[in-house]
Structure 1
Amino acid sequence: MADRDVSKVAEGFTYTEGPRWYNGRLYFVDFYTYSVNVVNPDGSVEEVAHVEQQPSGLGWLPDGRMLIVSMKDRKVLRQEADGTLVEHADIAHLCTGHANDMVVAPNGQAYIGHFGFDLMGGADHEFASVILVDTDGKAQTVAEGLSFPNGMVITPDERTLIVNELFGNRVSAFDIKSDGTLGPRRDFAAYDDLGDEKSWHKRVERSTIIPDGLTLDAEGAVWVADCAHQRAVRIAEGGKILDEVSTAPYGVFAVGLGGDDGRTLFLCVAPDFDETARSAAREARVDAVRVDVPHAGTP
């Protein structure tokens, strides 16, 4: 694994997530300041939206309006041209935990995962689903039985959705049908089967990877934020680990490829993901490192 120079892009945040390169700028969220932020060309960071119920996944409709997951009230918000936020979809009836990460397809359909259980409250692990929100805001469940579906990408041909399963020790893939619904789950990269183990702590202990954020490159490999192991790993379909970037002593909770040539890997890092600890500190940041293979797909 090559040694690489890691640079700081933005610092002084609570818990950064959702890095997205869009129209030549990096966007990201900060959970406990409830902010959606953009990094300007001069390196300054500007808040572009405030989501009181905690922002997570980001994406854009074909007309350029931004969609934002509002985690705790389990909604998808839409930012209008004047900057105001309106409800795009209410998905609370389909979620069994906080709404979480999202990918918005080029046609405007959005795929959203959720926790499946009360992670911060200490509940037992329960399997969760992927929700499809159509362009008119109508929502439906399109995949079930996933262990905390998290980072998601869509391949360049728009035919495959790839989904991290945070506590599942695997990355899953689904064919995307013409109406946006999904075919059966299959393995993109899978390690030991964790079965129905109810303790998420034990699931973590038994896992090869703890895949949080996700981004796709032009050779069909994915970079995964392997959060509990303090590294970003590049994984080929089939599960072979091709490369890694250490973020020790911090964990890395989201990744995104971007930059003008698509070869900058952005890393959202923090000491841990404990809500009480992170909301009380300003230790999280966004880092960047150069990689060899450029970005592909969505986001």
Structure 2
Amino acid sequence: MSELRTLLSGLVVGESPRWHDGRLWFANWGAEEIVAITEDGAAEVVGKGPKPAGYSIDWLPDGRMLITGHDRLLRVEPDGSVVTHADLSALPDGWNELVVHDNGAIYVNSIAFSFGEEEFRPGVIAVVKPDGTVRQVAENVAFPNGMVITPDGSTLVVAESWAGTLTAFDIEPGGGLSNRRVWAPYGGDGLTIDAEGAIWASDMAGDKPLVRRIREGGEVLEEIGLDEACFACMLGGDDGRTLFLMVAEWRGIERMGELFQATTGRILSTRVSVPRAGRP
């Protein structure tokens, strides 16, 4: 693995990184921006975030971008207009991460409480089918965070940040989730998966911020120690072997308001040996 380098600084909190169409796209929480950047550091604000924080992005198979809003899933049309893709208001609020299956099914999760303002409540995962129907497919998820779908499309893995586990589900033909199990006994925030089925998971829970590459069952294959909290990670680049890390200074839940008023956010990158696969 090569040394870490800073690709971009001056962000508030970079989240939901996605490699798409030759650039790294991400949400700049606090600034309410969606930004895209090339590997050589040319950045462009490409859209507005729907809320100060807690929104994520991904793409439908036809290339239209999706964004999680307050109580709905939003879609960006080719002319740049933003419309409602699915109404999520019948399910618990707090929509956070999403990931789109190759078949067009969309998995979106909600933490189901106002982080930093309310007592913890377990969250949910919903599926939005290509026909627009919405249904809950998992419950009692302890602060659902990053999600990935394995390269063969058969399994969804979600970071249960407050349970300290990566949790797997089988993806059923109709879009449901079954056979819930612990994929690895490690917590996480953002996740990205590679061609060997290993997951890179950012972890803010311990004494030292780090990112781990983990095999199913819990074997840690690689580990990167960091000086700042890593909120999310993504494999990308032209060959899929660049690991992007979204870092910022974390001051704890009790000082979370300061997080979204500072500009300590950065994107770090490093080279790895196994390329990206699966979704997102």
Q: Which residue of 2 aligns with 1:269?
A: 247
**Counterparts in 2 of 1:212 and 1:179: CA distance versus 1, 3 Å:** same
TM norm structure 2: 0.93
- Distance in 1 separating the partners of 2:42 and 2:124: 37
Q: What do residues 86-145 of structure 1 show as CA deviations (whole Å, max 9, x unaligned)? A: 1111213212x4210110111221111111222221x22221111111223321100111
Count of aligned pairs: 274
Percent of pairs with identical residues? 41
Matches within 5 A, 1:158-177: 158-177=153-172
Q: Which residue of 2 aligns with 1:224?
A: 201
User: What letter is aligned with 1:60?
Assistant: W
- Distance in 2 separating the partners of 1:238 and 1:77: 35
Q: What do residues 237-288 of structure 1 show as CA deviations (whole Å, max 9, x unaligned)? A: 001111111121x100101111111111110101117541122111111111
CA deviation after TM superposition for structure 1 residue 42, in Å: 4.9
**Counterparts in 2 of 1:147 and 1:107: CA distance versus 1, 3 Å:** same
- Distance in 2 separating the partners of 1:174 and 1:77: 25
Secondary structure of the residue aligned to 1:153 is strand
Q: Which residue of 2 aligns with 1:198?
A: none
Q: Which piece of structure 1 moves more, 45-54 or 143-152? A: 45-54
**Contact 1:16/1:268 (<8 A) preserved:** yes
CA deviation after TM superposition for structure 1 residue 53, in Å: 1.9
- Distance in 1 separating the partners of 2:258 and 2:197: 36
Moved over 3 A (4+): none
Q: Which residue of 1 aligns with 2:220?
A: 241
Q: Which residue of 1 aligns with 2:134?
A: 139
- Distance in 2 separating the partners of 1:52 and 1:26: 19
Richer in helix (by share): 1
1:214 is aligned to 2:195: no
Matches within 5 A, 1:1-299: 4-40=2-38, 42-54=40-52, 56-70=55-69, 73-95=70-92, 97-121=93-117, 123-190=118-185, 209-229=186-206, 230-248=209-227, 250-272=228-250, 275-299=256-280
- Distance in 2 separating the partners of 1:85 and 1:211: 31
- Distance in 2 separating the partners of 1:183 and 1:52: 32
Q: What do residues 210-251 of structure 1 show as CA deviations (whole Å, max 9, x unaligned)? A: 310001111111000112331001111001111111121x10
TM norm structure 1: 0.87
Root-mean-square deviation over aligned CA pairs: 1.6
- Distance in 2 separating the partners of 1:290 and 1:40: 15
